[in-house]
Structure 1
Amino acid sequence: MELSIFIARTLGVVYLTVGIGLFLFREVYILALRKILDSPGYALLGGFMAIVGGMAMVNYHNYWVNDWRVIITIIGWIALIKGILILLFPLYFDWFKKLLLVRIGKGLTIVIVAVGLFFTYLGFLN
């Protein structure tokens, strides 16, 4: 359970920080995201980072249980699969770029903050 708490704390701080940053400085985030998505080097680096983070979670936190810890496992698998796909097919993610830039509205920001609050609660207050 200690590992689950550590990951929940980390994810909580990351998601809350990004979510609040999106609320306060949406234009800056969108501009930075466009520059990142338009650079093949950054896309490959992001894929590499997703594989490393996903593999860490899959290897050390692969808990298919009937409680909140399974969410961490699912996030790890999603990160791993996303990273593999980005590195295998870097030119085929134009549709993903367009979707991400269109969907980075207030709804997505609210979801990011909610996920951050959820993990922060589980990591620090539970």
Structure 2
Amino acid sequence: MDSFSEYIDLSTYLARTFGVIYLAVGLGMFLYRESYIVLFRRLTENIDFVLMGGFVAVAGGMAMVSYHNIWVNDWRVIITIVGWIALIKGLMLLIMPGYIRTFRGVLLVRYGKYLTVAILLFGLALSYFGFF
């Protein structure tokens, strides 16, 4: 038992981690919708949070792209795509911080319900791949 890979491979670890995160966020959005709407609006109005989110997204996305850039025809490609999306999103937030304001309407009642369901389903799928 010398290394992490003897316990669990990186794809499975990331699927478990992101699966739990997406399930928690989706459940939070389902149970406390108004709180998430207020939080998202506050985050988009505060440039400090936008820039910090950009730094975190670039760091996480770059790590995933560097260590999990696996383009295969199975579920593991989902992790790779999430990494690339995080990297691109982070770069956009750092280059054009005001761009985030275009997504304010996403959490409105009309779109927010679909987003909540999509996040929950994505979390379920990743959790399934990671744990089963």
Q: Given the two structures, how large is their TM-score scaled by the length of structure 1?
A: 0.92
Answer yes or no: is the 8 Å Cα contact 1:34–1:101 preserved in 2. Answer: no
Contact 2:29 2:116 in 1 (8 A): yes
**1:1-126 aligned within 5 A:** 2-96=9-103, 98-102=104-108, 105-125=112-132
Provide the secondary structure at the position in 2 that maps to 1:28. Answer: helix
Q: What per-residue deviation string (whole Å, max 9, x for no partner) do you get for residues 78-99 of structure 1? A: 1101101110111343323x34
Runs of 4+ in 1 over 2 A off after TM superposition: 91-94, 98-104
Q: Give structure 1 stretches of 5+ with no counterpart.
A: none
The answer to whether the 8 A contact 2:12-2:130 is kept is yes
**Higher normalized contact order (CA 8 Å, seq sep 6+, divided by chain length):** 1
Please tell me the root mean square deviation across aligned C-alpha atoms, in Å: 1.4
Quick one: percent identity of the two aligned structures?
55
Measure, in 2, the Cα distance between the counterparts of 1:62 and 1:4: 10
Aligned residue pairs: how many?
124
Which runs of 5 or more residues in structure 2 are unaligned? 1-7
